Every structure is written in structure tokens, then in C-alpha cells.
Copies of this chain bind each other. A is one copy, B any other.
Amino acid sequence: MLSLMTARDGNGLLSRRHFVAGGAGLLVATPAALAGLDLPPGMTRPGGGFGVYGQPSPHEKHTARAIAANRDLPGNGVSWTPLQDLEGIITPSGLHFERHHGGVPAIDPAQHRLGLHGRVGKPLTWTVAELLRYPRVTRQLFIECGGNSNSLWNAEPRQTSAGAMHGLASCSEWTGVPLRLLLEEAGAEKGATWLIAEGADAGGLHLSIPMKKAMDDCMLALWQNGERLRPEQGYPMRLVVPGWEGVTHVKWLHRLELASEPAMSRFETGRYTDLLPSGKARQFSFVIEPKSVITSPSPGQLLRDKGVYQISGLAWSGRGAVKKVEVSADGGKTWVQAALDGPVQRQCFTRFRIAWQWRGQAALLKSRVTDDTGASQPERSALVAERGRHGEFQFNGIVCWAVDEDGEVSHVYA
């Protein structure tokens, strides 16, 4: 059993353990009376039958994506993954975040074609059936929209759930064809330094990706979490660009073009860029910098009783693997290293956990990730100072949740 609560305890953090020895503050159960063991009603008659495809319990309807749709532009908007209601690292496919600029096209896979042209030896097209002949690879990877957490550029902290703030990030097991194989089959001309990828959605969202990345670890994904892609995730195929911002993972992929220059499309000029204090724009900022967020406890949740809680959250980095996550319960004065759920995978969500004794005191909870390149999360104030007043994308500053004496959790800048 742990000896609890010393003066040097960082406001209740219990070393890096992610759970405490049995009995140490965990006396949550109720002594059993016989009434507590009454026969549940489901035991007295046969239950429901078999289904070809299961769905969540009707009691869990609150575990849903929050939606912000643009009424003036049909199909333009976002939906957020409810990170505060989820556990582990896998996001259920039905709860993966969405960011659509022209809505979700209804694509008949029998009619869909992927074309590859431009500065290639020979232009090629593939049907879905032809792509199913190619070798496949599988990886568990996060995808984060470059616009995730953008309310944290605001002057005042937004009060909403962790998911509605930071849930334009999700993590799935993706399976598909190594993009390199398709590019090698067509043959790149010398000077083909950019790959332009276009989706079959309204407006034809297209993005430019350096050939070096395209030939490295990119994937033409056809499966997500074991089954074929969901329509809102790009059915029948999308690009997966490990560790790079979400807009490069072009959905409903129908056209690849090799070129000697980027397309300078709307989504790499007018959007997904940041005007810096110098007057220059931050452009082609592809890599997702290290980031973490505490999902439990988080705003909207309530600590009803004093005692030991498990602080838990998600960390990730587009640069590589999470090396360590530190947690503070006193606003950053002291930090304690959290435990990481294994196996830790590159460019993948990593779940961290640490035990915390809440004695009814006010607390400021923060998490800070460091990845295996040594890169870490900056304090929000430092990030805002660096990027200036026009920040809109790629917020990866440290997030702070305040717990008050009543156990209520809110979002603060501290």
C-alpha cells in the first residue's frame, strides 16, 4: 500500500504509478446486502437475438460526434471525436472526426477510378478491384486536422468538452497499398518532386505532398479498423500520410499527379497557413508537432467524491513516438512522469495514466509530452508569442484544466 500525501507530492500526484495498490483510497464499493444481489430482470427470460452488424447500446447515445456545419455552404463543416467519453487509443470508425469542405460524395466503388498522370513514365488508372490485388500494409496511426484546438488561439478560454476542443484528432488502424508501389509502376520523371492528390468531392480538394514523403511511408488506405473505409472517411480510398496534418490525407482519392511544383491550391495557400508576426506566412507546415491532452478528468466532468482518481489522456507526435508524458497538478510548478500504455507506436495515439489523490483541493491539471526526437509541447503563452495574433492552425500548446473545491472542471489559461 502506498503512503499517501506528503508535502512534496505535487498536489496529490502519486508518482508515476497508473494505479495504486488495492485498498489505497479505492474504497468505492458498497458493502453488499442481499438486496444488492437480486435477480436482474434479464435473467428471467431469453434476451435478444443475433445481428449481422452490431450497434452501441441505446444508453450510450451521448457518445456522439459534436457537429458544427456551415449553413451557407452545404457539406462544409466539422464534427469532433468525443475524446472525453473514449478510452484506449482506437477511435471507433463511427466517431472518427470529420472535416469536409464539400460534403460526403456517394461513390459507387464499381465506377470509381484512381488515375496517376503528370510527370510519369506512363499514365495509369486503377479500379478498386485492381487495387485489391496489391500488397498491403497495416499501421495504427493518428490523424489530426491542422485546425484542431483552434479555439485556444482565442483571447479567452472556451468552455466546452475536451473532445469539442481537441477532437479533430482520432486514431485508427489503417490498411492499404504502399503508395510507393503505384508510383514505381508508373515511373516518375526526373524533376517530379511533388505529388498532387485530389479527392472526388465537390470542389475537388487537392493538396501537394513532397515526393520524398510520398515514396517513404504514405499509404493508399482502403480499410479502417479492420473493415473498408466509412463514406465520411473517404470510401472507397483515401491517402494516409503518417504524422502529417489531416488535410494531406486526401479522401475519396481519384487523381494523383506528379509535378515539379506544388499546386498552390486553396488549401495550401489561403487555408492551413498562418500569418506570422514577421508578415511572412507559415506554409507547408505538414508535420504535427507533439501534443497531449488530459481526457479524464476534463471540462464537463465532475469529481463527486474525494479520493484517488486516475488522470488519463492522449499524447501524440507526427515526428515519431511518444517518449514521455509529464503531468502537473499545480499548474506546472512540479511535474511527475505518467505511465504509458504499451506498445507505444510511432505517429500513433499513446494513452497516459497517473494516480492522483484529490482531497477537495483546487488544482490546475496539465500534461506535457516529449517525443523521441526531443521535441516537446510549449506553454500556450510561448506559442502565442511566437506565432502572433493571427494563429489559426497547428495549436500544440499545453492545455490546462482547473479543478475547483466542488470538483468542477473548467478550461483555463494558466
Spell out A's residues near B (CB within 8 Å).
18-23, 26-33, 36-37, 40-57, 59-60, 63-65, 67, 69, 73-75, 77-79, 85-96, 98, 100, 102-109, 111-113, 115-117, 122-127, 130-131, 133-138, 173-175, 178, 180-186, 200-204, 222-223, 225-233, 235-236, 252, 254-255, 305, 307-310, 312, 341, 343, 345, 351, 353, 355
Q: A42-B201, A47-B103, A96-B54 are in contact. Are A307 and B29 (CB under 8 A)?
A: no
Q: Would you call A109 and B59 a contact (CB within 8 A)?
A: yes
Q: A42-B107, A173-B89, A226-B90 are in contact. Are A75 and B55 (CB under 8 A)?
A: no
Q: Would you call B95 and A227 a contact (CB within 8 A)?
A: yes
Question: What residue in chain B is nearest A20 (Cβ atoms)?
Answer: B135
Q: A55-B230, A173-B89, A227-B60 are in contact. Are A124 and B74 (CB under 8 A)?
A: no
- With A47-B104, A90-B173 given, can you name 4 additional A-B contacts, CB distance below 8 Å? A19-B181, A36-B125, A40-B254, A55-B230
Q: Would you call A42 and B202 a contact (CB within 8 A)?
A: yes
Which residue of B32, B137, B252 contacts A124 across the interface (Cβ within 8 Å)? Answer: B32
Q: Would you call A185 and B231 a contact (CB within 8 A)?
A: no
Which residue of B40, B130, B255 contacts A200 across the interface (Cβ within 8 Å)? Answer: B40
Q: Quote the shortest CB–CB distance from A240 to chain B (angstroms).
A: 13
Q: Quote the shortest CB–CB distance from A211 to chain B (angstroms).
A: 14
Q: Quote the shortest CB–CB distance from A131 to chain B (angstroms).
A: 8
Copies of this chain present: 2
* Complex Cα gap A30–B182 (Å): 12
Q: Would you call B22 and A184 a contact (CB within 8 A)?
A: yes
Most buried by B among A36, A126, A204, A343: A36
* Complex Cα gap A286–B280 (Å): 65
Question: What residue in chain B is nearest A93 (Cβ atoms)?
Answer: B54
Q: Would you call B56 and A53 a contact (CB within 8 A)?
A: yes
- 3 nearest A-B residue pairs (beta carbon): A42-B105, A22-B184, A47-B103
Q: Quote the shortest CB–CB distance from A352 to chain B (angstroms).
A: 11
Which residue of B77, B223, B226, B351 contacts A138 across the interface (Cβ within 8 Å)? Answer: B351
Q: A30-B130, A87-B226 are in contact. Are A184 and B23 (CB under 8 A)?
A: yes
* Complex Cα gap A255–B113 (Å): 55
Q: Would you call B138 and A341 a contact (CB within 8 A)?
A: yes
Q: Would you call B75 and A125 a contact (CB within 8 A)?
A: no
Pairs across A and B, CB under 8 Å, 19 listed: A19-B178, A30-B126, A31-B123, A31-B125, A33-B125, A37-B115, A43-B201, A48-B106, A49-B77, A50-B78, A53-B64, A54-B232, A59-B109, A60-B227, A60-B228, A88-B173, A90-B90, A92-B227, A138-B341
